[in-house]
Amino acid sequence: MGGFEGHLYPGLALFLYGLYHALCASRALICSRPAQYPLRRPWSGGRWARLGQIHYVGLAKLLSACILVVQELHSVQWQLVFLSKKYPQRIFFHRKQWQHITLYATFFLSGCADLLSQHLLPRRCPELERGAQALGMALLLPLMVSHLQDTEGVELRAHGLLTQALFLLMLVAMAELWAPDSPQLWVLKAFLYMLAGSWLMHMGVTLFKPISGHRWMDDDQHDVIFVTTFFCWHVVLDALVILWVYGASSVWYRYFRGKSGLEEPGVVPCHLAEKVWEAELPERRT
């Protein structure tokens, strides 16, 4: 994640993913759905009609991970090597780039798990999707801690605050494995994804393209302190975005979708929803 683009694109991906979770959580809360994950229905209609039944989040993860890897390879002129015989005294090369690619690989694996659960397995497996997210966060955190090396001043403080947000996100992802139907965890996960994404984009602006045109100074305590102040503003603004998403979703489902958007009889927790649907299939066929 070196350079302005290396912070902007991953941050935008995280923020949009958090916004997606905020929409899912708002819909689940407003419609009184214990399950945040939507129920998968059997394929119906023609080839083009099936496009509307595809869950595109997994595909978006795969596509964004591939784009980020290509951007990382382009930054080193496609000369990404792990070992080189030309410099025997230096064993490993491009350690930052390999860290970044490993980070992106976690999103790629999470996208593969989503596609496997949503389209290839006989029934949807939310446990697999949540487990892939938790594993990705568990891998992301130590990589970010290692990423703090060779940084100081403003960059060290900014990356430290990002690591703090990712640590909390890892705890929430782990807790969701044991409490999948907890609305508090849904909202926290959406909020922390948005916080990590918005702060990562802000880091790109601060470190590489400051709005004032003047570089932030590592030896100036005022600049270092204001990094924390800006992070606190991000916390408040992202919380307001969560509230706005919930309010807009509430208006949509209550007044535009009408009564049918709120009443969903027979909804059960996500770990039982697929079994209920399979039990209803024989009745629907008759």
Average pLDDT over residues 65-86: 73
The range of the structural domain enclosing residue 218 comes to 3-285
Tokens read off for 267:
């909804």
Q: Tell me, what's the pLDDT at 74?
A: 75
Q: Tell me, what's the pLDDT at 274?
A: 39
Contacts of 193 (CB under 8 A, 6+ apart): 14, 15, 17, 18, 21, 169
CA distances to 22, 134, 280 from 259, rounded to whole Å, are 22, 36, 24
pLDDT at 53 over 90: no
Number of domains composing the chain: 1
Helices (H), the chain: 3-30, 47-51, 56-75, 95-115, 126-147, 153-178, 183-208, 221-251, 270-285
pLDDT at 51 over 70: no
Q: What is the pLDDT of residues 95-108, one digit of tens each?
A: 777 888 888 888 88
Q: Tell me, what's the pLDDT at 275?
A: 42
Tokens read off for 61:
């993860």
Residues 69, 102 contacting (CB under 8 angstroms): no
Residues 70, 6 contacting (CB under 8 angstroms): no
Tokens read off for 15:
């923020």
Q: Tell me, what's the pLDDT at 272?
A: 39
Q: What is the pLDDT of residues 2-16, one digit of tens each?
A: 677 878 888 998 999
Q: Tell me, what's the pLDDT at 268?
A: 42
- Mean pLDDT check: name the lowest of 41-50, 76-85, 161-170: 41-50
Tokens read off for 173:
């992802």
For residue 272, how many other CB atoms are within 10 A of its CB?
13
The pLDDT-based confidence of 33 (bands split at 50, 70, 90) is low
The whole-model pTM stands at 0.81
Average pLDDT over residues 22-49: 68
Q: Tell me, what's the pLDDT at 60?
A: 85
Q: Tell me, what's the pLDDT at 172?
A: 94
Angle of CA points 246, 252, 256, to nearest 5°: 165
Q: What is the pLDDT of residues 174-216, one digit of tens each?
A: 999 998 888 899 999 999 999 999 999 999 888 888 887 777 7
Amino acid at residue number 258: G
Q: What is the pLDDT of residues 208-267, one digit of tens each?
A: 888 877 777 877 788 888 889 999 999 999 999 999 999 998 888 887 765 444 444 444
Q: Tell me, what's the pLDDT at 48?
A: 52
